[in-house]
Structure 1
Amino acid sequence: MPRKQVVSQRPRSWPANTFLIAWAVLLLGVLIATLWGPGILAGRDMLVLDHPALNNAALGLTELPGRATPQDGVLAIIGKLLPASWAIRALLISSAAGAISAGFLLARRQQANLFATALAMLVACWAPAITERIAQGQWSLVVAAWLLPLLVWAGLTQKTYLQWGLLIPASLSPTGAILAGLIAIAAAKEKRLSTTIIAIMLCTPWAIPGLLAVFLKDSAAINFGTTVVDNAAAVMAFGPHAESPLGIFPTLLSSGGIWNAQLISPGREYGVLAGCLLAAILIWSGLRYLPKGPEWPIFALGILGFAMTLTSWLSPEIYEWAVAEIPGGGLLRDAHKFLLLASPAAVLLATRVRPNWLAVIALSAALGNLWGASAQLQVLKPVHISLPEIPAEINTTETVFLPKANTLITMPEAKIPLVNPWFKMLSAVEPGTLVVDGITIDEPTPRWSAANQAWSEGDISRLGRLGISAVIDPETGSILARPDATQKAHLPRILGYILLAIWASIVPLFILISLKRPRRRHR
């Protein structure tokens, strides 16, 4: 039987290696310089306190969907050992370094030229789809996005244990868990069934409470009613936003188009033009050098992510039906985030750009596509904010009510809206109201509405029946009332602890089982 011919790659010259090292330092240095300094990470959806509480919301046990589960639970545990905001900075930097490394490794696997390698490293780490999520404060989703190319490389090169380990930080948010799970399963060349089981089990901290809330919705012991959601308004509000007079399609091709128009810098239309040029080069290179067998699922997922985002704009009625009828469809509302599924495919295409002069043009276009990114990164700059003082007699696990407290507030120190610190420091009944461009997407939760009505009427006993044991003034931090809570939380805290333990232990458990299992001998 003839031996398989091994194609050896000619080693790069020292100037080429020096250039790539300097390029990697530059790409990562931008992030490090932004994150460096005293303070905490606070802005829009992001509020990473040094010592957050392990409250009911962190465990995904409130009436609201567990959008910050398990990340808030992990932050609370880390915060008992060291400042959580510094731990997250380390995670962000290491994830970005992983993305840059993945671009380099995938390019070396493809025997890419020098500038195609630099292009792959850039596309893996910095793109509008990533910088816009940073500007929105969705740091855990950004961590997942940065790890997607590395998950692909680990799968294609059969580094199974590395791939499983990467799934842990990538699954800190529900969306991150789904995107990373799909990419890991698609890229796995061995132990795909085990990878699938792990990906599913990493969703348990937010999926199980959500399922229980649906199946036990008629039980008064665990449910206080159903929150009114306007799915049609949600699909329109969170649909992709054109960043150029050319329209939605070119914007999506440039990987931009987040729903929040306030995040877009002036002059972004020039970036869209550069992004379209980059996309044209990548697609043309992909057609010239068709992907190999194991890479096809990665490209299929990229097409799926782009199609989902485009569908929310082309056929909002169909997308609204999916959001309303598919279990867990609320995760689909923000359609633009599914463009991140195309990130690994874009990196693979970047490695195929030839010859060198075309790679230089593509690299220049990729840099132009980042128009305004420096302003978007400023959300990651640490800030000092005044945190409320919790009364000494209040336990962070007991349910409290904060009259007139909004989920999002604006503080002079942060200059942009951010999550109310009270809801990260206590187990408080959250309003859950969501207003976008003056349109109410989510009405207040029934429990908060009932508590607000009871407080305005002075009905303290009713507050106790709602499971509230303290009423705190969010302005002064003083205790206004101490109801006798007769109603427990809608799901027991022990469930949250168990699900968090499953999330943290499933990967080490599978690695241990795999190591102890005897390998099959091949003849």
Structure 2
Amino acid sequence: MADLRSTTTRALPGGYSFAVASVIFGPLFGPGYLLLRDAVSTPRSYLTDSALGLGDAAPRAVPQDAALAIASSIVDGGVVVKLILFAALWLSGWGAAALVRSMLSGVAVGPQLVAATVVMWNPYVAERLLQGHWSLLVGYAALPWTAKAAIELRSGSGVRGWCALAVCLGAAGLTPTGALLAIVVAVVLVRPKQLIGVGAMAVVTSAPWLYAAIASGAGATTSDPAGVAAFAARAEPGLATFGSLAGLGGIWNSAAVPTSRTSGFAFVGTALLLGVVVIGAPYLWRRRQDRAVFALACTAIGALLFAAVAATPLGISAGEWLVVEVPGAGLLRDTQKWIALVVPLYALAAAAGCQAIVARFAEPEQPNPARFLTPAASILLLLVALPDLVWGVGGALRPVRYPASWERVAESIDTDLPGAVVVVPEGMFRAFPYTGRAPVLDPAPRMLPRDVLQSGELIVAQGRVDGEGSRAAEVEQLLATGAPVTELAVQGVGWILVERTAVGRAGKPDVSIDGVERLYADDELALYRVPGVAAEDEKPRGAALFAHAMWSALLAGGILGSVFYIVIRVRRRPDES
């Protein structure tokens, strides 16, 4: 009976988190592809130089794009992205429950469910979904698991702890930001003598984007200082910037915000969330001598202060100096995303507060409504604090269907011929009739089997933020000025794709192209071949592939080691009994 109760206690948070993830995921269970702002899923993507991070732009989607290119050669890419996103939502809550169970002695199921709700149902998750940062949410989901693995490693869990940490860092390493978030959590929690091992794992999990930044030259490139103010955290109605950040909101893009956070209700929602969290503060204060609690608290406070100060005039000035003088510092400019480091502490505090209330009003081993009502009330308050996260953030996350034109264009490109693709209209973002009103990242770089030149330039409410792609910017200028195709060929342009129904930076495409061969055309897309393109120098793909293989081996090795440990543990149980 005791074993059955223990199994139920451990399984219930996972089942609860699965149900909550399903409510959030909502419309994405239907057929179609995720295509919203920065999120681009396609039926098939390809292992191009850009997918390996060897293009002109900074390798922000490495190793994500390469992993999807390989996976989509086996399974539909849209399904792969949906599975990863759903798993991230589900495992974030389950991980929060597992973390508090490992840190709070004798914690009941109710407080674990409260912790799971705090991590899953908050403005950070909603805003990153609306911004299309599905892969960042993988790193976000890894944080409670990383904290748990690091704490257990600190307590002497040995090989099992290292395997668990390898899985966490490898999964978080799907994006550079995710890798850095998980590395920070691991570093602050392990013992000093374990830092060498963590450092080695950090290098391996970051190898794909670190190598790509060095090999492509992006690592030596500075960023447009205009991006610092453009991507700074934003104050919500009724809240200062610090209050918005403390409530896990304040993303830079006011268009990627749930409706409930665009009015005075943002203050109410923040108060409800912080109310559930702050109740546990006295309990955590009494445990301040606990190294793990102290480290999580310092990390959370540091993340909040960093994001808040970075949004002040002084912080913006310092950030502008940093991105101009320090190559690669542009990775830090979206400062609000770093408040993900607050979430493990919030989960712990919410569970601790719920547990303290139950302990105060419920007698041990005696039936008492407080055991149920306290966590139920806390969960209800958290849900009310952000009512429009339900069903794909109010239906905003709905799958789209690509026209058949995209597949035909991809088939029309001969990968044996040299050259890259340039897209008209110019710019990275556009709107299609089938995507709704929100701008979307151009799917061409993921959809086509050749590199697509993109400058990385962004148009935001505050103005223009220049990208790192100088070659792409030059090509876009040639197209805009009607330069002869011979000049495009000199720049290595082999194909021109005209997205006829797209509305881009300069409106709908209006281009006259002479001296090119039309390969495909319909009402949606037109593809042209530029003659006389010389073969380009080969990029160092071998080393890039090796870096990706190292990351994959870390993740796979950690998974296999963890599974092996679980199997051994299950087999030993009958013998122990």
- SS where residue 435 of structure 1 aligns? strand
AA partner of residue 85 (structure 1): G
Q: Does 1:50 align with 2:21?
A: no
Counterpart position of 2:174: 172
Counterpart position of 2:431: 410
- SS where residue 302 of structure 1 aligns? helix
Q: Could you tell me how far 1:104 is from its partner in structure 2? A: 2.3
AA partner of residue 383 (structure 2): L
Structure 1 residues 259 and 291 mapped into 2: Cα distance closer, same or farther (>3 Å)?
Answer: farther
AA partner of residue 464 (structure 1): A
Hey, what's the Cα distance between the residues in 2 that align with 1:251 and 1:210?
A: 33
Structure 1 residues 264 and 400 mapped into 2: Cα distance closer, same or farther (>3 Å)?
Answer: closer
**1:379-403 Cα distance to aligned partner (Å, 9 max, x none):** 4432212252235243298412224
Structure 1 residue corresponding to 2:224, chosen from 202, 223, 230 = 230
TM-score of the pair, normalised by structure 2: 0.78
Counterpart position of 1:198: 201
- SS where residue 401 of structure 1 aligns? strand
139-148 or 30-39, which deviates more: 30-39
Counterpart position of 2:346: 346
Matches within 5 A, 1:254-273: 254-268=247-261, 269=266, 270-273=268-271
Structure 1 residues 200 and 126 mapped into 2: Cα distance closer, same or farther (>3 Å)?
Answer: farther
Counterpart position of 1:400: 421
**1:212-234 Cα distance to aligned partner (Å, 9 max, x none):** 444997xxxxxxxx78x531x32
Hey, what's the Cα distance between the residues in 2 that align with 1:502 and 1:17?
A: 33
Structure 1 residues 211 and 136 mapped into 2: Cα distance closer, same or farther (>3 Å)?
Answer: same
Hey, what's the Cα distance between the residues in 1 that align with 2:299 and 2:13?
A: 29
Q: Could you tell me how far 1:404 is from its partner in structure 2? A: 2.9
Q: Could you tell me how far 1:249 is from its partner in structure 2? A: 2.0
Structure 1 residue corresponding to 2:533, chosen from 456, 470, 484 = 484
Q: Is the 2:91–2:141 contact (alpha carbons within 8 Å) kept by the matching residues of 1? A: yes
Structure 1 residues 213 and 141 mapped into 2: Cα distance closer, same or farther (>3 Å)?
Answer: same
Structure 1 residue corresponding to 2:117, chosen from 122, 126, 139 = 122
Count of residue pairs brought into register by the alignment = 496
- SS where residue 286 of structure 1 aligns? helix
Hey, what's the Cα distance between the residues in 2 that align with 1:199 and 1:481?
A: 43
Q: Could you tell me how far 1:196 is from its partner in structure 2? A: 1.8
Q: Does 1:381 align with 2:381?
A: no
AA partner of residue 390 (structure 1): A
Hey, what's the Cα distance between the residues in 1 that align with 2:219 and 2:190?
A: 37
Counterpart position of 1:187: 189
Structure 1 residues 96 and 185 mapped into 2: Cα distance closer, same or farther (>3 Å)?
Answer: same
Structure 1 residues 295 and 11 mapped into 2: Cα distance closer, same or farther (>3 Å)?
Answer: farther
**1:407-457 Cα distance to aligned partner (Å, 9 max, x none):** 111122221221212121231111321111150011583212322344445
AA partner of residue 70 (structure 1): P
Structure 1 residues 85 and 498 mapped into 2: Cα distance closer, same or farther (>3 Å)?
Answer: same
Structure 2 residue corresponding to 1:423, chosen from 445, 456, 474 = 445
Q: Could you tell me how far 1:509 is from its partner in structure 2? A: 6.4
20-29 or 365-374, which deviates more: 20-29
Counterpart position of 2:491: 466
Q: Could you tell me how far 1:61 is from its partner in structure 2? A: 0.9
Counterpart position of 1:138: 133
Hey, what's the Cα distance between the residues in 2 that align with 1:458 and 1:320?
A: 35
Hey, what's the Cα distance between the residues in 2 that align with 1:256 and 1:291?
A: 30
Q: Could you tell me how far 1:316 is from its partner in structure 2? A: 1.9
Counterpart position of 2:544: 496
Counterpart position of 1:390: 410
Q: Could you tell me how far 1:505 is from its partner in structure 2? A: 2.2
Q: Is the 1:244–1:272 contact (alpha carbons within 8 Å) kept by the matching residues of 2? A: no
Structure 1 residues 347 and 210 mapped into 2: Cα distance closer, same or farther (>3 Å)?
Answer: same
- SS where residue 327 of structure 2 aligns? coil
Structure 1 residues 114 and 422 mapped into 2: Cα distance closer, same or farther (>3 Å)?
Answer: closer
Counterpart position of 1:329: 329
Structure 1 residues 28 and 325 mapped into 2: Cα distance closer, same or farther (>3 Å)?
Answer: same
Q: Is the 2:13–2:94 contact (alpha carbons within 8 Å) kept by the matching residues of 1? A: no
Hey, what's the Cα distance between the residues in 2 that align with 1:321 and 1:513?
A: 45
Q: Is the 2:127–2:258 contact (alpha carbons within 8 Å) kept by the matching residues of 1? A: no
Structure 1 residues 390 and 477 mapped into 2: Cα distance closer, same or farther (>3 Å)?
Answer: farther
- SS where residue 203 of structure 1 aligns? helix
Hey, what's the Cα distance between the residues in 1 that align with 2:434 and 2:482?
A: 35
**1:150-206 Cα distance to aligned partner (Å, 9 max, x none):** 111122223320220122221111101111122233334584422221112211222
Structure 1 residues 113 and 502 mapped into 2: Cα distance closer, same or farther (>3 Å)?
Answer: closer
AA partner of residue 285 (structure 2): L
AA partner of residue 165 (structure 1): V
Uncovered stretches (5+) of structure 1, i.e. residues with no partner: 1-8, 218-225, 516-523
TM-score of the pair, normalised by structure 1: 0.85
Hey, what's the Cα distance between the residues in 2 that align with 1:17 and 1:212?
A: 46
Structure 1 residues 194 and 444 mapped into 2: Cα distance closer, same or farther (>3 Å)?
Answer: closer
Q: Could you tell me how far 1:243 is from its partner in structure 2? A: 1.8
Counterpart position of 1:155: 150
146-155 or 374-383, which deviates more: 374-383
Uncovered stretches (5+) of structure 2, i.e. residues with no partner: 154-160, 359-369, 501-524, 565-577
Counterpart position of 2:461: 437
Structure 2 residue corresponding to 1:207, chosen from 203, 207, 210 = 210
- SS where residue 402 of structure 1 aligns? strand
Q: Is the 2:273–2:382 contact (alpha carbons within 8 Å) kept by the matching residues of 1? A: yes
AA partner of residue 409 (structure 1): R
Structure 1 residues 242 and 478 mapped into 2: Cα distance closer, same or farther (>3 Å)?
Answer: same
Structure 1 residues 391 and 214 mapped into 2: Cα distance closer, same or farther (>3 Å)?
Answer: closer
* Structure 1 moving runs of 4+ over 6 Å: 9-19, 509-515
